[in-house]
Amino acid sequence: MFITARERIVLTILLDNEQGLLARELAKAASVSVRTIQRDLRSLDRLLSSYDLTLVRAPLLTLKGTEAAKRHLRLDIAEQRHQDFTSEERISLLIAQLLDSKEPIKLYTLARELNVTSATVGADLTKAEEWLHSFGIELIRKRGYGIEVHGTETAIRRAMSSILSEHLTEETFYQAVYSGEMEKEVANRLLHFVDLQTIRLVQLTLAKLKQDKFPQITDQSYIALVVHVTLAIERIKKGEQIQMDQDQLHVLELEEILPVAQSVAHALEAQFAITIPREEVGYLIMHLRGARTLNPFGEKAGNAELTFRLRNLISGMEQQLEVRFNEPSFFQGLLAHLTPALYRVNQEMKIYNPLLERIQLEYPSLFAATKKQANIAFAPIVLPDEEIGFLTLHFGAVLTRQSSPASLSALVVCSSGIGSAKMLSSRIKQEFAEVTSITIASLFELDQYDPETFDLFISTVNFDKSKGAIHVSPVLTQAEVTLIRSFIESQSKNHMSMTAPTLIREHDECVAFHEITAMSRFIQALLESVIEIKSTNLQEGVLEVCGLLEASGAITHAEHVYHALLAREKLGGLAIPGAELALYHTRTSDVMRPIFTVVSLTNKTTVASMASGEEEISRVLVMLAPVDLSEDKLEFMSFLSILLIESEEQTNLFKSGSIETIQQVLDQRCREFLAAYISKGVEAE
């Protein structure tokens, strides 16, 4: 029996949500009105009866029938998908085919491929033209000649990567790479624009490097990296050369992540017997710098400009919403998210947020407030709505957590990034007073955990039933709340044992004490480095500091560190707005231990501001750290940079206070940090 595109969408949603849905939830998921859904459901009764299935309408919309009957329906939907696509799916496939082709394609060829009329393809091409234009790509349509696209190699790569990312979720990627079976026809077709064997070899190569070189990357960013590298390799094999401005390339090669990008390039050269040029390594640096990570303290310590802007964003949200966002982990989570996010925005890298439409519908007021305050805090940078959506999830997570009592253990596997995982976790805590702890795991970290040691196993990825996971959406609908509540109640009746969550790792019992000892020594080393020198010239003062540090053994090559600090200045302003302070900071292999040093200038000088324009400064703070730092030590270095702008009183202290006063304040605040750190370690045990 033939199944239309919208029927396919509605049936797939019902099959994926066995716990049932409200009519408005189904309408929202299908992107139609409730009235349209009600009309469509009436026409489905006859179709479902042919599969021995029944549509139950109350209290929730569910499909009633045997598992065999549901499997039969799923198979038929999968087989008929190639016959009928939605408008959005057709446009994606059209764009991908045009980007992949070196020659013009006839209109009737595209129409035949998609099983629609030439007029339908013509209308789709008009929409595709607008999308391509946003990437700087021109769509050429000539009668008798065909259809083709014109654009730079960089633009074509970005467009192809974007179109793949929009349809290649963690779930479909997992199916393609590991099982070879794709349930979604559109993702299946799009993936075949790249060689599946190539994408599997790329994934295998990157997986070997991931744990050592970029262990904290999120699933979504890891998949984007695999897609980027696969496209690059295939284009290199075809002789397509990417271009990059040499000045931009030189600045990128100053990035600390250069060795990681070079390691990736060398591994790929060995795997595919190709030569990867410098420009490709440059784009790898951009991709790795723009990747989101699970590291809650970001890639770099001491990002005072971002800290300054982030404080303004949080303050603006507090005033508009009349609430307090005072959780330390919340600030650090936002800092970690925004570090690569702003880099992506500045580099004009495409950002894709699969939850954007749903966030705007479910949380319109919070989204509007976040957008307004972000535009103020980050001006003149304008964050796209996709990024505003991610920020909304972060703020929403705190709001739900603040009104949540805590109480069972739950393992949450979330495929849409750390922000949505936190939102889901907070919704779970809000709805279920029984939940005492939630452990978040990505799809590729799942083998590190034993789900049976958790009371609840909740996932936004639709595993087969043998996994025992409760499948939910990232925003947790009311129907899904009902499903989880039923599960908890049924398990309670069966005397469910409350077991502690188990992480499948060795030697966990020794970690907390060793980390506390190491952190104490790290903080002590920094406090011992606090000195002041006076200079009439900024550069001379910084160079003198480097010389003194080399003489003491704190760094190995003063000239190297000095030039690294100047290179950091070229990447962005270092003056804290309105504070007469500048923060010069870097992490290099020449730095042996953490450093916090003060350079007081006898004559004010002008340097680039962290916000915009220039600022007059009278004092420079030099903060240095070794390249290889654990997450907790990165947290401490980030904590120091936050101290500089934590309050107007504290900023004034660092601007004009004596070195003895600064030492006393740092000593006191470091004691507070260490006490909180030890407390956290005790809780972790």
- Res. 177 pLDDT band, cuts 50 70 90: low
Which pLDDT band, with edges at 50, 70 and 90, does 406 fall under? very low
Task: Give the pair of three-digit tokens for residue 668.
Answer: 């006191």
Rounded CA-CA distance 437/455 in Å is 10
Instruction: Enumerate domains of the chain plus CATH numbers.
Output: 5-83 (1.10.10.10), 87-289 (no CATH), 304-401 (1.10.1790.10), 404-493 (3.40.50.2300), 509-684 (3.40.930.10)
Please report the DSSP string for 659-672 in residue order.
HHHHHHHHHHHHHH
- Under the phi-then-psi rule, with left for phi > 0, alpha for psi from -120 to 50, and beta for the rest, what region is 144? left
- Counting residues of the chain whose pLDDT is more than 90, the rounded percentage is 12
Q: What's the chain's length in residues? A: 685
State how far the Cα of 579 lies from the Cα of 19, in Å rounded to an integer. Answer: 57
Tell me the C-alpha distance between 491 and 327, whole Å: 34
Encode pLDDT of 226-275 as tens digits.
Answer: 888 888 888 888 777 777 778 778 877 887 788 889 999 999 999 998 89
- Judge whether 48 and 54 are in contact, CB under 8 Å: yes
Average pLDDT over residues 188-210: 77
Contact 580, 544 (CB under 8 A): no
pLDDT confidence bin for 600, thresholds 50/70/90: very high
Q: Output the CA angle 602-603-605, nearest 5 degrees.
A: 135
Compute the average pLDDT of residues 627-636: 78
Q: 429: number of CA atoms within 13 Å, CB side?
A: 21
Q: What is the pLDDT of residues 106-131, one digit of tens each?
A: 888 888 777 788 888 888 999 899 88
Instruction: Name which of 97-106, 188-197, 430-439, 637-646 the model is least confident about.
Output: 188-197
pLDDT higher than 70, residue 185: no
Q: How far apart are CA 587 and CA 628, in angstroms?
A: 9
Lowest mean pLDDT among 141-145, 211-215, 341-345, 508-512: 508-512
Alpha-carbon distance of 666 to 529, in angstroms, equals 11
The pLDDT tens digits for 209-230 are: 887 887 767 766 787 788 888 8
Give the rounded distance of the alpha carbon of 439 from its chain centre: 18
Rounded to whole angstroms, the Cα distance separating 471 from 477 reads 11
The whole-angstrom separation of Cα 445 and Cα 440 is 10
pLDDT value of residue 544: 92
For residue 28, give the nearest of 418, 477, 346, 467 by alpha carbon. 477
| Confidence band, pLDDT 50/70/90 cuts, at residue 485 | confident
Contact 199, 176 (CB under 8 A): yes
In the chain, count H helices and then E strands.
28, 13
Bigger pLDDT: 89 vs 133 = 133
- 667-685, pLDDT tens digit by residue? 988 888 887 777 655 433 3
Q: Look at 143-152, 354-363, 523-532 and tell me which has the smallest mean pLDDT.
A: 354-363
Distance CA 478, CA 149 (A): 45
pLDDT in tens, 295-337: 433 334 345 667 778 888 998 998 898 888 876 567 777 877 7
Report which of residues 212 and 419 the model is more confident about: 212
Please give the biggest Cα pair distance in the chain.
88
C-alpha torsion 350→354→358→360, nearest 10: -10
Q: With contact defined as beta carbons under 8 Å apart, do 51 and 65 qualify?
A: yes
Q: Is the peptide bond before 59 cis (omega within 30 degrees of 0)?
A: yes
Distance of CA 147 to the CA centre of its chain: 36
CA angle 516, 521, 523 (to 5 degrees): 95
Q: How far apart are the first and last CA of the chain?
A: 58
Lowest average pLDDT, out of 29-43, 494-508, 571-585, goes to 494-508
Alpha helices in 81-217 (DSSP H): 87-100, 107-114, 118-133, 153-167, 170-174, 185-191, 196-213
Nearest to 372 by CA among 290, 303, 312: 312
> pTM, whole model, 2 decimals?
0.43
Q: Is the peptide bond before 380 cis (omega within 30 degrees of 0)?
A: yes
The backbone torsions φ and ψ at residue 645, rounded to the nearest 5 degrees and listed phi first, read -125, 20
Q: Are 638 and 335 in contact (CB under 8 A)?
A: yes
Q: Please name the helix (run of DSSP H) or strand (run of DSSP E) that holds residue 372, with its range, or none.
A: helix 364-377
> What CA–CA distance (Å, rounded) separates 295 from 206?
19
Model pLDDT, residue 599: 93
pLDDT-based confidence at 547, cuts 50/70/90?
A: very high
Q: What is the mean pLDDT of residues 618-623?
A: 91
Pick the residue with more confidence: 635 or 131?
131
Q: What is the mean pLDDT of residues 407-411?
A: 79
Beta bridge partners of 599: 533, 620
The whole-chain average pLDDT of the chain stands at: 78
200/173 Cα distance (integer angstroms): 10
